[in-house]
Amino acid sequence: MNTLKNALETDKFIITAEAGPPKGTDVQEMLHSTSLLKEKVDAVNVTDNQSSVMRLGSLGASKLILEHGLDPIYQLTCRDRNRLAIQSDLLSAHVLGIRNVLALTGDHTQAGDHKQAKPVFDIESVQLLQVISTLNRGMDMNGNLLKGKTEFTMGATVTPEADPIEPQILKFEKKVKAGAQFFQTQAVYDTKKMEEFMETARHFPVKIIGGILLLKSAKMARFLNKFVPGIRVPDELINELEKSEKPLETGIQIAARQINEFRSICDGVHVMAIGMEDKVPLILEKAGI
């Protein structure tokens, strides 16, 4: 089985993809699209109630993906659990064989389908990374000894095109200090912007996995520009999609092209296809992977 840990330890160009757990108990589709990725990716991110929409949990889904022969990256947000639940879930993840965690603050409950929920945010991403580091050293966050420590590889996220960018970079540095070993970025469509970010990131001993988000149409691109923080699809790409007779195919080509551009810039790519996970193998194939 390919693992993220192996990929991080070598100079290999890292490939990760994403699996969105279903809203419900039918996991067939999720497992089908992830199984297409076997041996093609190093690990698969399993989202945690993404966009604050209640779904099958990332812990359970990560375990299933592991059983199906892929290395899961267990995404863990601070929105729904306090520090007891978070640490306890991390111990559960460890005993289930999950070895990668992506520490996230999480979207606000206002974004999702349970707006009436009490958001928790007892701790946040930087503190969560510290907590995981501590569990890896065999202690809980209050310094109590654990009977058996964890061995997590820790990741975090960063938005290279955030506006303003400086506070985001300062937080990136804090995440590194707190123990992040790899970063997956928000989708970046402008290679120059990625290069600029990498000039800063290169000073830190972490791997940067560039975010690639499949564009399905010009409409989607405009939607991203308008509503998704930190994403900027350049006009040229929107035009390209607009002119295309088969926008999805064009989107796949754009994604493949981007993967190739990122090859010489960052340490890997994280391919997100939101609902079209079955297209990821084709994107990778077109990129020659």
Partner 1 sequence: MIVTKQKPIEEIVKSLEGENNIFLVGCSVCADECQTGGETATKELIEKLKTSGKNVTGFAVINAPCHVLLTKKDLKVHKEAIDKSDAILITACGACAQSVSEIIEKPVRPASNTLFLGNIERHGHFHEHCSMCGECVISFTDGICPITNCAKGLLNGPCGGMNKGKCEISTEERPVDCAWVLIYERLKKFNHLEKFKNIQPAKNYSKHIKPDRLILERKK
- CB-nearer residue toward partner 1: 123 or 194: 123
Q: Is 113 in the site for partner 1 (CB under 8 A)?
A: no
Q: Is 122 in the site for partner 1 (CB under 8 A)?
A: yes
Per-residue DSSP letters for 273-285? -TT-GGGHHHHHH
- CB-nearer residue toward partner 1: 28 or 142: 142
Q: Residue 141 CB, nearest distance to partner 1 (Å)?
A: 7
Q: In whole angstroms, what is the distance from residue 125 CA to residue 179 CA?
A: 11
The beta-strand segments (E) located in 22-99 are 43-46, 72-77
Q: Is 171 in the site for partner 1 (CB under 8 A)?
A: yes
| Footprint (CB under 8 A) of partner 1, residues 82-111 | 83, 105, 107-108, 110-111
What are the distances in angstroms from CA 137 to CA 8, 85, 149, 184, 192? 20, 19, 6, 24, 39
- CB-nearer residue toward partner 1: 123 or 256: 123
Q: Residue 73 CB, nearest distance to partner 1 (Å)?
A: 16
The closest of 218, 220, 221, 199 to 208, measured between CA atoms, is: 199
- CB-nearer residue toward partner 1: 36 or 169: 169
Which of 11, 144, 170, 264 binds partner 1 (CB under 8 A)? It is 170
What are the distances in angstroms from CA 197 to CA 9, 103, 201? 22, 20, 6
Which of 40, 53, 117, 121 binds partner 1 (CB under 8 A)? It is 121
- CB-nearer residue toward partner 1: 91 or 169: 169
Listed ranges 22-30, 40-48, 167-175, 188-196: which one lies at the site for partner 1 (CB under 8 A):
167-175
* Type of residue numbered 252: I
Q: Is 181 in the site for partner 1 (CB under 8 A)?
A: no
Q: Is 176 in the site for partner 1 (CB under 8 A)?
A: no
Q: Is 230 in the site for partner 1 (CB under 8 A)?
A: yes
The closest of 142, 140, 105, 109 to 124, measured between CA atoms, is: 105
Q: In whole angstroms, what is the distance from residue 45 CA to residue 146 CA?
A: 27
What does DSSP say about strands 268-272 and 100-104: parallel, antiparallel, or unpaired?
Answer: unpaired
The beta-strand segments (E) located in 105-205 are 153-158, 182-187
- CB-nearer residue toward partner 1: 64 or 126: 126
Q: Is 271 in the site for partner 1 (CB under 8 A)?
A: no
Q: Residue 127 CB, nearest distance to partner 1 (Å)?
A: 5
Q: Is 163 in the site for partner 1 (CB under 8 A)?
A: yes
- CB-nearer residue toward partner 1: 125 or 150: 125
Strand partners of residue 212 = 271
Q: Is 178 in the site for partner 1 (CB under 8 A)?
A: yes
The beta-strand segments (E) located in the chain are 14-19, 43-46, 72-77, 100-104, 153-158, 182-187, 207-213, 268-272
E strand or H helix at 94, and its extent? Answer: helix 83-95
Which of 49, 186, 250, 258 binds partner 1 (CB under 8 A)? It is 186
Kindly list the residues in this chain that would bind partner 1 in the complex (CB under 8 A): 79, 83, 105, 107-108, 110-111, 119, 121-127, 130, 141, 157, 159, 162-164, 166-168, 170-171, 173-174, 177-178, 186, 229-230
